[in-house]
Structure 1
Amino acid sequence: MTLTVPGGELVVDAAYVDAPTDEIRRQAREYRTGSRESFDLPVRYPDGFLGRVMGAMAAIPYGETRTYGDVAADLGNAPQPVGAACGRNPVPLLVPCHRVVAADGVGGFSAAGGPALKRRLLDHERSESVQTTLADAPTRADGDDTDAGDRPDP
């Protein structure tokens, strides 16, 4: 499933989320418009190191960051495997891998849009006011809030 986010789009593997796609889209839309800071969707973490890294990422509060080294130290590992695990996150945004940064800058981002999109997500979370765009407006006169910017499942 592709979700519109501030600055671009993210692909989320809905198979890891125990919620209807319309609920995932609704919560992503609320995040985008600034009315949601966390997701309350049940996410299944894979076994092993990736699941442990995802758990650490999920614990990073909205508007804050941790370095790859911080996460690695918490998990008793090295920063490089943490970065690789961040890049394999199947549910970006819902498990906020964009909040894990390099010690000397923003670091990489495996989603389309790369580090520029990561920077935009971080800026969005740090802004005091969130701008509503035309993509966030209702698409029908009757107030239906279906978002034309969210693409249907592939």
Structure 2
Amino acid sequence: MNSNNDLSKTILITPVGHILLHTCETHLCAVELLINSNEAETEDVQSSVAQQAVKQFQSYFIDPQSEWTLPLLVRGTVFQKKVWQHLQSIPSGETQTYSEIAQILDTSARAIGNACRKNPFAIVIPCHRVVSKLGFGGYFGKKEGYEIDLKQWLLDHERGL
């Protein structure tokens, strides 16, 4: 790999399913939760960044209080980056509603939801800590299904349940 534009992909098997890690020479570039484990074919290149990312995910699934220290190559609008930065300030196991975050950032709950939907770093930038003011839901108003089960599992894990 000669530049940050040269991506390698690594699939990590976790308690929540398969996670696809996109890494470049010096950064973690994206994290995808794969609903279907056949969704991506990878070279499974184990660069030092990929190895560090795998170790950090393994640490998270053992101890959810583990800190993410790997540098992220964050691409998004200024607004999205502002939302994602706020999400990283929500303590592990705690939640905030879309409305609460919207009030803090002086925007709408829908805009917060849209920024969460565009989050390129599942789990690392913890959109799972954002919930509906009407209950647990999220993910386009869903109240059940894989995404909600995943959100609940991650929060329970972070709470030590």
TM-score w.r.t. structure 1 length?
A: 0.71
Which ranges of structure 1 fall in alignment gaps of 5 or more residues?
Answer: 129-154
Q: What is the correspondence of 1:12-91 to structure 2 with a 5 Å cutoff?
A: 12-14=21-23, 18-19=27-28, 20-34=49-63, 36-45=65-74, 46-91=76-121
> In 2, Cα distance between the equivalents of 1:3 and 1:125?
19
Change in 2 beyond 3 A, CA 1:98/1:90? same
Shift of 1:117: 0.5
> In 2, Cα distance between the equivalents of 1:62 and 1:41?
17
1:114 is the counterpart of 2:144: no
> In 1, Cα distance between the equivalents of 2:23 and 2:90?
21
Shift of 1:29: 0.5
> In 1, Cα distance between the equivalents of 2:115 and 2:80?
5
- Tell me the number of residue pairs that the alignment of Structure 1 and Structure 2 aligns: 126
Change in 2 beyond 3 A, CA 1:47/1:107? same
CA deviations 1:17-76 (Å, max 9, x no partner) are 715111111100110112643211222332321111111111111111111111111111
Shift of 1:11: 4.2
* RMSD between aligned residues: 2.4
Q: Using CA pairs under 8 Å that are at least 6 residues apart, name the structure with larger relative contact order, 1 or 2.
A: 1
Determine which structure has the larger helix proportion and give its number: 1
> Could you tell me the percent identity over the aligned residues?
32
Which ranges of structure 2 fall in alignment gaps of 5 or more residues?
Answer: 1-9, 29-48
Segments of 4+ in structure 1 off by > 6 A?
none
AA aligned opposite 2:149: A
> In 2, Cα distance between the equivalents of 1:18 and 1:104?
37
> In 2, Cα distance between the equivalents of 1:35 and 1:124?
7
